[in-house]
Amino acid sequence: MATTSKGLFGSSLARKYWMAVSGLFLCTFLVGHLLGNLQLFVAGEEGKLAFNEYGHFMTTFPVVKILSYITYGAIFLHTVDGIMLALQNRAARPVGYVKEKQSANASWASRKMALLGTLTLFFIVVHMKSFWYEMHYGALGLDANGNKDLWTLTVTAFEQWWYAAFYVVAITGLAFHLSHGAQSAFQTLGINHPRYTPIIKNTMTAFAWLIPAGFVAVAVFLFVVQPGQNL
């Protein structure tokens, strides 16, 4: 048998491997991001100084810098690869069905991954403009310790109802995206086992809802408590 293959670049399966690997890496990023956000539950001057110290560390420590570049790369890869897959999938059925009962055999989230991914990407752009851009290139004031006052920027953003609402909607979209993607990545990488697959599915489903729930909890806390008004 002669071999013809595009191997790990270009074939349909390879594209999915890259989606799975980049997606799972971004899942680990979410855990780290959430742990940082949880510090916002500490209100008052003490919480403000600690959060700004953390912000300074996250933008200057070399290892974090390297990790952040890998994260940008993963987002880029996941996006470009996702667009290529979506275009191929659309081209694979030029004429659609008049009547199609997709809900009979597949979950809503699994059928809307491209839409949910696009929503998430839009959110990331807005989110990075709000905080990342301001932290790096904006005119932020300094706190008592001389660190950039990212805390005030953050808490005042979430005091606006529309910003908090947009955030909650976007994170909910992310939760649905993860509810399919996080466990599906293991199937794509060929991991399927009578004993371990149910454990993977349950764990990743819990992950998909609990991590976004943590992000939403912080946002709701900031909107309700309005810690910026009490300083």
Partner 1 sequence: MDLTLKIWRQNGPQEKGEMKTYPISGVEEDMSFLEMLDFLNDKLINEGIEPVVFDHDCREGICGMCSLFINGEAHGPGRKVTTCQLHMREFKSGDTIYIEPFRAKAFPIIKDLMVDRSAFDRIQRAGGYISVNTSGNTIDANAIPVPKENADKAFDAATCIGCGACVATCKNSSAMLFASAKISQFSLLPQGQPEAKERVLNMVHQMDLEGFGNCTNTGACEVECPKGISLENIARMNRDYLFASLSSNK
Q: Does 11 bind partner 1 (CB under 8 A)?
A: yes
Torsion region of 98: left, alpha or beta (phi above 0 gives left; psi -120 to 50 gives alpha): alpha
> Which residue, chain included where needed, has tokens 């909650």?
168
Q: Kindly state the smallest distance separating residue 10's Cβ from partner 1, in Å.
A: 8
Rounded Cα gap, residues 146 and 151, in angstroms: 13
How many CB atoms are located within 10 Å of the residue 49 CB? Answer: 17
The nearer residue to partner 1, 3 or 60, going by C-beta atoms, is 3
The nearer residue to partner 1, 160 or 192, going by C-beta atoms, is 192
The nearer residue to partner 1, 106 or 169, going by C-beta atoms, is 106
DSSP state of 9: S
Stretch that binds partner 1, among 4-12, 41-49, 58-66, 119-127 (CB under 8 A): 4-12
Q: Does 78 bind partner 1 (CB under 8 A)?
A: no
| Binding residue (CB under 8 A) for partner 1 from 28, 110, 145, 202 | 110
Q: Does 80 bind partner 1 (CB under 8 A)?
A: no
Q: Does 195 bind partner 1 (CB under 8 A)?
A: no
| Binding residue (CB under 8 A) for partner 1 from 104, 125, 146, 162 | 104
| Binding residue (CB under 8 A) for partner 1 from 66, 191, 199, 206 | 191
Rounded Cα gap, residues 139 and 196, in angstroms: 51
Listed in sequence order, the residues at least 6 apart from 7 whose beta carbon sits closer than 8 Å to its beta carbon are 14
How many CB atoms are located within 10 Å of the residue 57 CB? Answer: 12
Q: Please name every residue paired with 142 in a beta bridge, in sequence order, or none if there are none.
A: 148
Q: Under a CB-based contact definition with an 8 Å cutoff, are residues 211 and 178 in contact?
A: yes
Q: Does 83 bind partner 1 (CB under 8 A)?
A: no
Please list every residue from 115 through 174 that binds partner 1, using CB under 8 A.
none
The nearer residue to partner 1, 99 or 146, going by C-beta atoms, is 99
Binding mask 163-182 for partner 1 (x = CB under 8 A): -----------------x--
First CA to last CA distance, the chain: 74
Dihedral (CA of 140, 142, 146, 147) sign? negative
Q: Does 93 bind partner 1 (CB under 8 A)?
A: yes
Rounded Cα gap, residues 163 and 136, in angstroms: 21
Residue ranges in contact with partner 1 by CB under 8 A: 1-8, 11-17, 85, 88-89, 91-102, 104-107, 110-111, 113, 180, 184, 187-192
